[in-house]
Structure 1
Amino acid sequence: MALPSTPVSQRSPLQLMTQSTPTRLWNDSASVDELTYSIEHGAVGATCNPVIAVTILKKEMASWRPRIESLLRERPAATEDQIGWRLVEELSVRAAALLKPIFAAHRGKNGRLSIQTDPRFYRDTAAIVEQAGAFDKLATNMIVKIPVTRAGIPAIEEATYRGISINATVSFTLPQSIAVAEAVERGLRRREAEGKDISSMGPVCTIMVGRLDDWLKVLIEKNGISVDPGYTEWAGVAVFKKTYKLFRERGYRIRLLSAAFRNHMHWSELIGADAVVSPPYAWQKRFNASEIEVRPRIDDPVDPKVVDQLLTHFPDFRRAYSEGGLSVDEFDHFPPTVRTLRQFIAACSDLDALVRDVMLPNPDTA
Structure 2
Amino acid sequence: MSTTPLADLSAAGVSIWLDDLSRKRIETGNLASLISEKHVVGVTSNPTIFAGALADAAGYADQLDDLARRGASVDDAVREITTDDVRRACDVFRGVFTETGGVDGRVSLEVDPRKAHQTDATVSEAIDLWKTVDRPNLMIKIPATPEGLPAITRTLAEGISVNVTLIFSVDRYRAVMDAFLAGMEQARANGHDLTTMGSVASFFVSRVDSEVDKRLDKIGTDAALALRGTAAVANARLAYQAYLDVFGTERWATLQGAGAKAQRPLWASTGVKNKAYPDTLYVTELVAPNTVNTMPEATLDAFADHGELHGDAVSGTASAAAEVFAALAEVGIDVGDVYQVLENEGVDKFDGSWKELLDTVSEQLTSRSPEQS
TM-score above 0.5, yes or no: yes
The answer to whether the 8 Å contact 1:26/1:279 transfers is yes
Matched, 1:25 2:31: no
Aligned residue pairs, count: 339
- Show CA shifts across 1:86-114 (max 9, x none): 22212211211111111111222211101
The code of the aligned residue for 1:97 comes to D
Select which of 38, 41, 47 maps to 1:41: 38
Select which of 278, 283, 296 maps to 1:280: 296
Greater shift, 107-116 or 351-360, is seen at: 351-360
Indicate the residue corresponding to 1:56 in structure 2. 53
Deviation at 1:319, TM superposition (A): 6.8
Deviation at 1:234, TM superposition (A): 2.5
Indicate the residue corresponding to 1:328 in structure 2. none
The answer to whether the 8 Å contact 1:220/1:226 transfers is no
The answer for unaligned runs of 5 or more in structure 1 is: 1-6, 321-330
Specify the SS of the correspondent of 2:306.
coil
Specify the SS of the correspondent of 1:278.
strand
Q: Give me the identity figure in percent.
A: 25
| Residues in 2 aligned to 1:209 and 1:150: alpha-carbon distance in whole angstroms | 20
The code of the aligned residue for 1:42 comes to H
The answer to whether the 8 Å contact 1:28/1:280 transfers is yes
The answer to whether the 8 Å contact 2:202/2:268 transfers is yes
Within-5 A mapping of 1:84-103: 84-103=78-97
Specify the SS of the correspondent of 2:315.
coil
- Show CA shifts across 1:292-348 (max 9, x none): 23522122524666443223235442677xxxxxxxxxx8xx100111111100111
Within-5 A mapping of 1:1-366: 7-8=1-2, 11-18=3-10, 20-31=11-22, 32=25, 35-39=31-35, 40-59=37-56, 61-74=57-70, 76=71, 78-137=72-131, 138=133, 139-220=135-216, 227=223, 229=225, 231-251=227-247, 253-261=262-270, 262=272, 263-293=279-309, 295-299=311-315, 301=317, 302=320, 306-313=324-331, 315-317=333-335, 334-361=340-367
| Residues in 2 aligned to 1:359 and 1:191: alpha-carbon distance in whole angstroms | 40
The code of the aligned residue for 1:30 comes to L
| Residues in 2 aligned to 1:144 and 1:161: alpha-carbon distance in whole angstroms | 13
The answer to whether the 8 Å contact 1:235/1:317 transfers is no
| Residues in 1 aligned to 2:217 and 2:77: alpha-carbon distance in whole angstroms | 41
| Residues in 1 aligned to 2:346 and 2:13: alpha-carbon distance in whole angstroms | 29
Give the alignment's TM-score, normalised by structure 1.
0.85
The answer to whether the 8 Å contact 2:212/2:228 transfers is yes
The answer to whether the 8 Å contact 2:224/2:331 transfers is no
Deviation at 1:121, TM superposition (A): 0.1
The code of the aligned residue for 1:236 comes to A
- Show CA shifts across 1:196-255 (max 9, x none): 321121111010111112221333456667655573322121121112112212215311
The code of the aligned residue for 1:27 comes to L
| Residues in 1 aligned to 2:189 and 2:40: alpha-carbon distance in whole angstroms | 34
Give the alignment's TM-score, normalised by structure 2.
0.84
The answer to whether the 8 Å contact 1:111/1:141 transfers is yes
Deviation at 1:66, TM superposition (A): 2.2
Specify the SS of the correspondent of 2:41.
strand
| Residues in 2 aligned to 1:30 and 1:297: alpha-carbon distance in whole angstroms | 29
Question: Structure 1 stretches (4+) deviating beyond 4 angstroms?
Answer: 221-230, 302-305
Specify the SS of the correspondent of 1:360.
helix
Indicate the residue corresponding to 2:275 in structure 1. none
| Residues in 2 aligned to 1:69 and 1:227: alpha-carbon distance in whole angstroms | 59
Distance change in 2, residues 1:250/1:225 (3 Å)? same
Greater shift, 141-150 or 190-199, is seen at: 190-199
Deviation at 1:164, TM superposition (A): 0.8
| Residues in 2 aligned to 1:132 and 1:194: alpha-carbon distance in whole angstroms | 17
Supply the RMSD in Å over aligned alpha carbons. Answer: 2.4
